[in-house]
Chain A
């Protein structure tokens, strides 16, 4: 290994490192406070108290009641519980979602017996509120639209969809449940469930400087969710299994640590990267809306360059990024999100995703912007394009 190799992590949408306060909060629960929250002795009750506190913090962040929060093993599990939990008891149900949802939403819907409408997005990667409303039928029971997309960072009009669905529900006997996967949004966007008018909302630990292996689901009081697997009565029986106390406490600490003042600094760095690349490297295009975009997301396609080779070359310079190229996926298929916003296979092939985080510095961005044009130029020489 080379000496003094720089390590610049620009892949925060994939995962984040746990904050120090998060790790400190978790350790006691793995060691001295290891009790089972279901035990009646003091050790167990201490653990139960820790989970109650964690639930209180997450509920406070979402502007929800404590009884409306359940902890899960991941955001994927929370999405599955949300969707399958609503659909399980329904017959001939209809669901509305979008083509750019995370697989944790698309796959449970694909495997359900419900009829599913997959809404398209425009070239900017945004779902139209009117499109959601147009598709609502008598048997529509569920709408699931993500808050922000992990690949192209586009922010969906969740508040507007929520308000519209609420209006429609006023005249319906059978109410439509509105779910949003807010995993990518939590770091930067307001998440008060009553402002958003959502009934179900998913969050993840490891995208917000918390631990992996934990997520949470907000379930509005009165919404009936069937468990997707069975056991004892932990998490109100919706998610049975002994609670992962350390991870749950870690998640709640991460929520408490969310830095409200990060947005502006991150946006500035994002805009600098986008502007520099688009102006200094020819034949590049920004993927996804410029305006309705997460403060930390940059997704750009380079003509005549393949994304995996770009990723590997940057990795050799100590810079970690991501790509939507088919060459980087196990399925050898290009990103369905990039195709959904109208990119050709070739454009998706040349895509690069850079996502900034809490630790990203001006200096790291300097180094990235210095290395990138050199690598693109070299790879274009090799491709002859």
Chain B
């Protein structure tokens, strides 16, 4: 049986570990994909310069949900600078691959993270 998505993508989509609102987040970023209409919110908690927790809320396709989950997992334990250096390619590798038309979903996650970090930094100033 051929599947549109890889097993890893389906697994992430069916059982994401990092979804949900974070009440005590120190940074929140909300982005919308103007092309397909997906919406994503990224919550981060930063302590001593490091991201200690992350979560997301995503209204979007299976790829958008899976990449949201991937980015949360990847940024926990990283400094904001390290987190911002994560590329689409690195995220997609975690899912093995994405259909070509879905690659833009991973950039939505990166945009969401950027906004969350900006939001945190604004509060710090």
A associates with B: yes
Size bracket, chain B contacts: 20 to 34
Q: In the complex, A334→B35 CA distance in Å? A: 10
Quick one: closest B residue to A348, CB to CB?
B37
Closest Cβ–Cβ distance, residue B101 to chain A (whole Å) = 6
A316 touching B57 by the CB < 8 A rule? no
Q: Once A and B bind, how many residue pairs between them come within 8 Å at the CB atom?
A: 73
Closest Cβ–Cβ distance, residue B115 to chain A (whole Å) = 16
Closest Cβ–Cβ distance, residue A347 to chain B (whole Å) = 10
Contacts of B10 in A (CB 8 A): 312, 316
CB contact list, A155-187 vs B, under 8 A: none
Q: In the complex, A381→B57 CA distance in Å? A: 8
A313 touching B60 by the CB < 8 A rule? no
Contacts of A312 in B (CB 8 A): 4-5, 10, 13, 61-62
Q: In the complex, A161→B110 CA distance in Å? A: 53
B4 touching A384 by the CB < 8 A rule? no
Quick one: closest B residue to A312, CB to CB?
B62
A327 touching B60 by the CB < 8 A rule? yes
A305 touching B59 by the CB < 8 A rule? yes
Contacts of B45 in A (CB 8 A): none
A326 touching B36 by the CB < 8 A rule? yes
Contacts of A383 in B (CB 8 A): 39, 57-60
Write the A340-352 contact mask toward B (1 if CB under 8 angstroms, else 0): 0000011001000
B59 touching A304 by the CB < 8 A rule? yes
Write the B66-109 contact mask toward A (1 if CB under 8 angstroms, else 0): 00000000000000000000000000000000000100100000
B51 located at the interface, meaning its Cβ lies under 8 Å from any Cβ of chain A in the complex: no
B116 located at the interface, meaning its Cβ lies under 8 Å from any Cβ of chain A in the complex: no
- Enumerate chain B interface residues (CB-CB to A < 8 A): 1, 4-5, 10, 13-14, 16, 19-21, 35-39, 41, 57-65, 101, 104
Starting from the known contacts A306-B61, A309-B13, A349-B36, 18 additional A-B residue pairs (CB-CB under 8 Å) come to A308-B61, A312-B10, A312-B13, A312-B62, A313-B13, A313-B14, A313-B62, A316-B10, A327-B38, A327-B61, A327-B64, A330-B101, A332-B101, A381-B20, A383-B39, A383-B59, A383-B60, A384-B59
Those 8 A-B pairs whose CB atoms lie nearest each other, nearest first: A384-B57, A327-B61, A383-B59, A308-B61, A326-B36, A312-B62, A349-B37, A382-B19
